[in-house]
Amino acid sequence: MQYTHLGRTGLLVSRFCLGTANLGPFTAPEDSPAIMNEALELGINFFDTADIYGWWGGREQPGLSEEIIGRWLAKDKARRRQIVLASKVYFPMSDDVNDRGLSAYHIRQACEDSLRRLKTDHIDLYQMHHVDRGQPQPTEYEWGMAKPGVDRQRSGQRKPETSWEEIWQAMELLVQQGKVLYLGSSNFAGWNIAQACERARQRNFLGLVSDQSLYNLSQRSIEMEVIPACREYGLGLLPYMALAGGLLAGTLRKAAAGRRTPVYDELDPGMKAKIDAWEAFCRELGEAPAHVATAWLLKNPAVTAPIIGPRRVEHLADSLRSLELDLDEAAMARLDEIWPGPGGQAPEAYAW
């Protein structure tokens, strides 16, 4: 396993982060410990969860993934010292009007609840799951599950409901109490990152050290403003949906073999042509599409650790091939042809 610093901190984390959103909803609770055991065996020391995880998959049980991790940690006290544990706060956890958002009231209670479920006395990286804009429920866009080629209609801009003064005061208290060590963001725009970091700087507070964002070969819009903001403020980037919900994991090959995935049925002719070129290039390289997609992320110096969320143990070990795959300049150029990005950072991406 390879390790790197989490953003501008001195903390070393593995180049892969184990995402645990599938633990509970898609991987049975009794099967989940095997995945975490294997992660430790492979040298993965970075585990990511969220208070809301367990909400999907038909279970509608927020907190389930944290509870699974908590039971795993409780069975062997040494495990807590072996991992960097990350969780998140923001989304509604009940019908209570204050059991959501980033108010000081909710941050304090949500942290206590996460600590209880995780059976630990501190969270290493506590992340704001979204900028506080009053969204009552997560949408497909927030989870990165919007279908390829489908226009993502948003519900319009919302005025932030909680001031940065209130948010940072609440987070500072958690740090002072030793319940949280580092702070991160998720699904922030570039200007949200700048705003949060500048307000923290005014308070002589470390502020954000990482951002978790939707990023993969097929969805590269964060290259315009989020990645430049991360570079400027020293945030480690933690991409989720590295395989675009299976789109980049050999969709056409699996369909040809009689294993049509749900994402295949959503592809329009233009996207199928692009996927065909993508999979043909991976065959030229002699590598599995999933490995190439993740290796492309690892090649980006802004990326700390892609988040991988295996549903089975064998998927986890197989992922490590990406660490050995060093894409040369010609391969990177070809990937840019197949999956063109926005053209660089803003404003150069769209203006002279």
Residues involved in catalysis = 53
288: its two tokens: 């599995």
- In degrees rounded to 5, what are phi and psi of residue 42? -85, -5
Q: Provide the Cα torsion 169, 172, 174, 175; round to 10°.
A: 180
In this structure, are strands 180-186 and 208-214 parallel, antiparallel, or unpaired? parallel
Question: What is residue 73's three-state secondary structure?
Answer: helix
Radius of gyration of the chain, Cα coordinates, nearest whole angstrom: 20
First to last CA, the chain: 42
Whole-number Å distance between alpha carbons of 126 and 140: 23
Please, are residues 88 and 128 in contact by the beta-carbon 8 Å criterion?
yes
136: its two tokens: 């009552």
CA angle 241, 242, 244 (to 5 degrees): 60
For CA atoms 250, 212, 94, 163, the dihedral sign is negative
191: its two tokens: 């200007």
Whole-number Å distance between alpha carbons of 98 and 192: 23
333: CB partners within 8 A, 6+ apart: none
